[in-house]
Structure 1
Amino acid sequence: MMMGNHELVTIRRKLALVEEEIWNAGMGYQGTILTGSRAEGAFMKGSDSDRMTIDKRVVVICPHDDSSITPDITNKTVFVMRDANSRPGYVNLELIKRGRICSKFMIQSVVPVGDLHFISSEMYRRSVTESLSDKFKIKMDVNGQLISWLTPKVGYDTDFVHAFICNSWPKEADEWVNRPRLHGWPDKGLIDQKIQCGCYLVPVGDKTSPDTFLQWRISFVTAERNLIHSFCHVQFLVYCLFKYLKNRYLPG
């Protein structure tokens, strides 16, 4: 494990953000967020390079939000979070408005439940996997929400996940906002900034739940990445050490 000095870590992070901007410049209906160790500025054997793809034609709203369709999402497909009868952090997504243009993944994954319609995480994940495998003619493994594409020549795995964006902060995460902080990190300004990031919904259910067919997990990837970028260099090195030990001795 060789992290380098603060300047080298900063350069890696800037390169990742530039790569992200380049991807987003020509993605059309899709957006890209780079996550994982390399986006954090780390580089070690087995470093992961995760890529989250956002469907810009879809937006998720929280049940406590005003349910009116605002002008900025008039033409988008809209889902609302519903209780998933699982551990906190997982929700079902009820379809309340279908947009003018929808991905085939979404169309193939919406299922009726009584008089309502929900999108199945399992069907969505399967549809994406099959499509990418056919398109790129490669073998792809599905592990939870991750679709892994092994790239041995560069020495790391590239993990892909498709997700929907929610521009609001879910009530399930209110405890993180209000919890006591004895050492003042993160400070109020950083917390407020993270709240503005909202969250994402990824197609994976609660492993402890007997029925994961409709469950989606709430993800805070951009907030997590920004929090790690706020570490001083010593804190970052300690974080990388623990991550290395976890991956080496506690796989999976």
Structure 2
Amino acid sequence: MDREEDVDQNRLSEVLSDILKCEGFFMEHVHVFRSECLLSEKISKDLFGITEIKCGSAMAEGSQILGSDMDIMQVSPGIIAVNGDSNFFDEKMHILKEVMDHCLPGYTRLLVHRLNPKSNFLPDIQTIIKKDGNSLYLSSEEYLKTFKNVRTKSWTFPYGKANFYSHGPCTTASMYNLKGISNNIEYDMTCGIKCHSWPVAATEWIHRPRLMGWPSSDIAEKIASFPVHVMPVGDPNSDISSMQWRFAFSYAERELIWYFSDIQFSVTFY
């Protein structure tokens, strides 16, 4: 009886695999999408000086689930967030210090530490700084308002039309009437500020015991070399939500997915 059940189970796995391939899911296809993602990021950086992080199932993970959108974080130039005890200095950057008191894990405030006139950060940083006591902080609320206003006014797409709406830290462009494409496409766009290093609380993840051996220590060390960012969204239950920023591990999360096995990928996305 057990052998019959094993045969049925194996047959079921084969049928599922065939169905996924018919739906366009096979690892070679996924690898193409991942390569396209990295190439497009490099083109944006090398040709236009824009750092973009592409994530989400359609663009970065290559799963192409029906209804998937494309998530893009644009990293602001000329500004950086550092740990409180860091001595980092760059004459072309505004430098902010992470202050995590009165914040839940995963959130921080950004204390203005040093403003440099040579920074190419836009908009005028003075318009999004708020005072709290004797200290100045970068307002996530004002920063996000400016980003959304700029993105909706500057967005151009010659092959169709777009509607915009906001949710959380994202501005979504819903494109329709696309030439040669029957389905609508959605882009979730947000902005972020690069951190000089990982937050101290997150470094535990790198060396924690892993009973199942995934990810391997080599992968964990590689992921630890990727930058972390902060996004302009605060804890909704906090009285100082408009001054808080949320840590984003977009590169790390994407890399973990790219190291999924075939089975992990199939189970997760299908």
TM-score interval w.r.t. the shorter chain? 0.7 to 0.9
Aligned partner of 2:151 in structure 1 is 132
Aligned partner of 1:67 in structure 2 is 87
Per-residue deviation at 1:54? 0.7
CA distance in 2, matches of 1:228, 1:178: 19
CA distance in 1, matches of 2:101, 2:170: 21
Point out the more displaced range, 132-141 or 192-201. Answer: 132-141
Q: 1:161 aligns with which of 176, 180, 190?
A: 190
Higher relative contact order (CA 8 A, sep 6+): 1
Per-residue deviation at 1:106? 3.4
Flag the 1:96–1:88 CA change in 2: closer, same or farther, 3 A.
Answer: same
Aligned partner of 2:93 in structure 1 is 76
CA distance in 2, matches of 1:84, 1:142: 29
Find the structure with the greater CA-based Rg.
Answer: 2
Q: Percent identity?
A: 26
Whether the aligned pair in 2 keeps the contact of 1:61 and 1:167 (CA below 8 Å) is yes
Aligned-residue Cα RMSD (Å) equals 1.9
Aligned partner of 2:222 in structure 1 is 193
Aligned partner of 1:36 in structure 2 is 56
Per-residue deviation at 1:5? 0.9
Partner deviation per Cα, 1:81-121 (whole Å, 9 max, x = no partner): 00152320000001111122331163321112222211000
CA distance in 2, matches of 1:189, 1:207: 36
Point out the more displaced range, 198-207 or 148-157. Answer: 148-157
Per-residue deviation at 1:139? 4.6
Q: Which amino acid aligns with 2:78?
A: R
Whether the aligned pair in 2 keeps the contact of 1:109 and 1:119 (CA below 8 Å) is yes
Q: Given the two structures, how large is their TM-score scaled by the length of structure 1?
A: 0.87
Are residues 1:236 and 2:253 paired? no
Aligned partner of 1:27 in structure 2 is 48
Structure 1 unaligned residues grouped into runs of 5+? 242-252
Structure 2 unaligned residues grouped into runs of 5+? 1-19, 157-161
CA distance in 2, matches of 1:21, 1:86: 35
Runs of 4+ with >6 A deviation: none
Aligned partner of 2:11 in structure 1 is none
Partner deviation per Cα, 1:155-193 (whole Å, 9 max, x = no partner): 331011111111311112133224321111111111111
Whether the aligned pair in 2 keeps the contact of 1:78 and 1:97 (CA below 8 Å) is yes
Aligned partner of 2:79 in structure 1 is 58
Whether the aligned pair in 1 keeps the contact of 2:99 and 2:111 (CA below 8 Å) is yes
Partner deviation per Cα, 1:110-148 (whole Å, 9 max, x = no partner): 112222211000110011111222333865322111111
Are residues 1:104 and 2:133 paired? no
Flag the 1:141–1:33 CA change in 2: closer, same or farther, 3 A.
Answer: same
